[in-house]
């Protein structure tokens, strides 16, 4: 078969909705994919029209309809497609539409907020790569006062157990509350940096992925991305046309009465520091 013929196997697996392109490469290397009855472990293999492709013995066919969904994940849900410990899956919160979706990136079990799901392997691989430049913005409420030292260190870069962590920006919005913008977003990065400074996130919520805002989407609810949002993510843009660039507003606090002037003064956060 000529090199230019057919579709690369990892791309075919990704387009089937079984995994992202990067994860598909792992499935192939593990010997879980067969083409025309033969197990294939080389990524360069190409699939021709009419070829039979099996994953763990089950047929794969490319998805005809691509889906892109935003979910407001509550705490206590895991973002993988299965869990041997039987914990609740964020995937089960999505409407059943027939497409096989998987999460783009990750959000810790006890973290909450915005996460994207798709069956488009190219989209997932592109968005998950640091070179995409797509920002992820979080609000974090800590157990104690967030010091200037923390703001400066996370903004400049800090080494923890041989790993280097650096936020694109860190902005304190209250004595115990910060907004953090990451590009690469390593596993449990925010929690590790907080722990390094003897802090613990009481609530960690992702409020933005590139131009896609969490907005007023309720916990456990989802919505499809607009074509404009998908296009902006693919192009690595972090704002939609016409956006002012201002930070997303926090959801309004419901109930209660207007605080007194004295209470307002006492609740006023210390001077904001941005890095």
Beta-carbon-side half-sphere exposure of residue 27 (alpha carbons within 13 Å): 21
Task: Check if 108 is active-site.
Answer: yes
Catalytically annotated residue among 5, 56, 83, 108: 108
Catalytic residues: 108
């Amino acid at each position: 078969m000529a090199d230019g013929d057919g579709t690369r196997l990892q791309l075919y697996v990704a387009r089937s909705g079984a995994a992202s392109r990067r994860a598909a490469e792992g499935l192939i290397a593990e010997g879980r994919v067969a083409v025309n009855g033969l197990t294939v472990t080389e990524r360069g293999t190409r699939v021709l029209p009419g070829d039979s492709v099996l994953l763990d013995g089950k047929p794969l066919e490319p998805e005809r309809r691509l889906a892109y969904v935003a979910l407001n994940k509550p705490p206590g849900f895991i973002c993988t497609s299965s869990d041997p410990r039987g914990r609740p899956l964020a995937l089960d919160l999505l409407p059943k539409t027939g497409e096989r979706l998987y999460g783009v990136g990750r959000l810790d079990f006890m973290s909450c907020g915005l996460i994207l799901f798709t069956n488009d392997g190219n989209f997932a691989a592109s968005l998950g790569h640091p070179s995409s430049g797509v920002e992820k913005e979080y609000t974090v409420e800590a157990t104690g006062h967030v010091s200037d030292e923390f703001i400066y260190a996370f903004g400049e870069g800090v080494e923890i157990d041989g790993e280097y962590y650096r936020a694109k920006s860190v902005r304190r919005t209250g004595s115990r509350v910060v907004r953090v913008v990451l590009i690469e977003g390593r596993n449990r990065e925010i929690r590790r940096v907080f722990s390094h400074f003897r802090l613990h996130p009481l609530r960690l919520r992702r409020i933005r992925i590139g131009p896609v805002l969490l907005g007023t989407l309720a916990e456990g609810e989802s919505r499809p991305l607009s074509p404009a949002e998908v296009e902006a993510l693919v192009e690595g843009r972090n704002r939609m046309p016409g956006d002012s660039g201002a930070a997303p507003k926090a959801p309004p606090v419901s109930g209660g009465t207007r605080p007194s002037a004295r209470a307002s003064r006492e609740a006023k956060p210390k001077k904001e520091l941005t890095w």
